[in-house]
Structure 1
Amino acid sequence: MIRNNKNMNRINLPQLVIVIVILALGVTYESLAAHSTHTGAWQTEIVSIENRYNGRYPEGLVVFTGSSSIAAWKTLAGDMDPLAVLNHGFSGAKVSDVTRYADRIIAPFKPKAVVLFAGTNDINGIPGKSHSADQVVRDVIALFDQVRSRLPSVPIYYISITPTELRWHVWPEAQQANARIQAYCRKHESLHFIDITPNLLNENGAPDTLLYKPDRLHPNKRGYEIWTSVIKPVLLRDLGPN
């Protein structure tokens, strides 16, 4: 019996180690999967934004957030001077993504105002993935509600979905969304719509290619100068320089 037990021990010990490893890996994979599902696709970028502050969030500044045209606006702080601003854009974001992370990249900063640019990735023209104007309007209103639930009196400025050559074929849908969001903002105090569309079109009423990068989607230096020339005066008028 003793000999048989030793043999069993010799046989089972490696197997036991393998089982333990598999179980450990199973827990790890399960935990990672749950973590990924909870945090979403932009966790790395959101954590990167949070890590700029090490838990010491500056308050009373203007938070710009939204998709890649905000994230890539490297001259934002200088362009908005003397307004003090934070850039919390993250590439590829749709409206619902900004809503998902609003409690991490907007609310803790108790901003003087919030400037949003999101929606262009929603109405993207990709079959089966492009949202309707109805959906975008619903999502934008949900985003407004999410921010106002945490910051009831904060002014929110929504920058219009921009006309681009890459997505020109879905521009009519984007125009519908813009018009309805603008109408909604007019009915609610502290919600503001900033329409930069007219400044981005050429004399033929098409997107001015001189204002965009070669990808025909994101603004170049001249494009950001146009953005600044429209957005900054509105913010200074409403918020003052400090």
Structure 2
Amino acid sequence: MSKHLLLSLFTFCTVLHAETAVTLAPPAIQSSPGGTVKLEAAADTRILYTLDGADPIAKSNPYLAPIEIPLGGTLKARAFSKDRKRMSDVSTAVLKPVSKFDVSAPSTVVPVTQDRSWPQYDWAKRHELTSAAVKHAKPQILFIGDSITHFFGGEQFDSYALRGQQTWGEFYAPRNAGNLGFGWDKTENVLWRLRHGAIDGIAPKLVVMMIGTNNTGDCSATDIAQGIMAIVSEMNLRLPQSKILLLGIFPRGEKPNPQREKIAVINQLLAQLDGERNVTFLDIGAKFLTPDGLITKDIMPDFLHPNEKGYRIWAKAIEPTVKKLIGE
């Protein structure tokens, strides 16, 4: 091998090592006595954080605004490159609870962002776009929830198919309805959105809400119900004149299963809100089941998300209550 070739290889390896050896500085953490935490990192990076003690990964919670952690706990943060292929070391802060808060409160009531589906689903961008659209349109009926609600219909903000658009156009578009359903959302993510501009500047006659199915994998029925009740309280505070149609969580899975049993317990707890705090509770889950308790693919192809036929069942089931609540 020639000296020139050896020199070229050596130079190439040196440059490659230098590029891969570039490290990102970890985020700086600033906390206030009131339980608010600010994170700072280089301008060309993205900060991701966790509150459960795990080290942040590329699909952890994106830092979009100061974090409210009055309950205390362990916050971990990392700076990532824009493509999230490079990351910094972990910055950690162990925070004491603010004295007036109950430290036993569950994660379902602690507002956080989410990026569980990154990069296919841009949660932060959807929040920005939907918040602006809702503020502009000032809907009279507002749907809030997770992907089951997101895929119903309304404005198209991303590449995900809206599977009930025909039904939405018939029942809700003429009533100036808005859709704040977000894929992969849990109760704590809805809480974050409500506290960061999602419903600012509006006063809908009715809010139709269903949330909690994404919490059922790792949270207790009681904790999930608490998260949903916290959302109700947040809407009472921010939309005091709006009536709330709180829907029981829909059944999921082809056949009866433990997750459905947990959902049934949650719905029993939520039923206690009926008639209180502007809430009307309605459980239409049985409408999606056969007499044998099965979910069929012609209504929910994945046994979770409705198709057009399933969304029509939903719309027809709540229509008498919707008409009553909005005074039609």
TM-score past 0.5 threshold? yes
What is the match of residue 240 of structure 1?
A: 327
1:84-128 Cα offsets, whole Å, 9 max, x none, are 21111111111121111114222432211111110111113xxxx
Range with bigger deviation, 110-119 or 44-53: 44-53
Amino acid at match of 1:238: L
Report the counterpart of residue 101 of structure 1 in structure 2: 193
- Which structure dedicates a bigger proportion of its chain to helix? 1
Q: Calculate the aligned-residue CA RMSD, in Å.
A: 2.8
Q: Which has the higher strand share?
A: 2
1:110 paired with 2:203, answer yes
User: Quick one: which of 53, 59, 63 aligns to 2:138?
Assistant: 59
- Cα distance in 2, alignment partners of residues 179 and 107 from structure 1: 31
- Contact 2:244-2:278 within 8 A present in 1 as well: yes
Give the unaligned 5+ runs of structure 2: 1-21, 28-40, 50-61, 66-112, 115-122, 154-164
TM score, norm. by length of structure 1: 0.77
Partner of 2:230: 142
Q: Which amino acid aligns with 2:269?
A: R
> 1:47 Cα shift?
1.2
Q: Is 1:216 equivalent to 2:303 in the alignment?
A: yes
Contact 1:77 / 1:86 at 8 angstroms: preserved in 2? Answer: no
SS at match of 2:259: helix
Match of 2:131 among 42, 50, 56: 50
* Sequence identity (%): 23
Residue-pair matches, total: 213
Q: Which has the higher contact order (CA 8 A, sep 6+)?
A: 1
**How do 1:55-204 and structure 2 match up within 5 A?**
57-59=136-138, 61-74=140-153, 75=165, 76-80=168-172, 82-103=174-195, 104-124=197-217, 130-165=218-253, 168-186=257-275, 188-204=276-292
CA distance in 1, matches of 2:297, 2:258: 15
Distance between the aligned counterparts of 2:299 and 2:24, measured in 1? Answer: 55
Aligned partners of 2:200, 2:235: CA distance in 1, in Å?
Answer: 7
* Bigger CA radius of gyration: 1
SS of equivalent residue, structure 2 residue 304: coil
Task: Tell me which amino acid in the other structure corresponds to 1:118.
Answer: I
Does the 8 Å CA contact 1:115/1:157 hold for their aligned counterparts? yes
Q: Which secondary structure does the structure 2 equivalent of 1:210 belong to?
A: coil
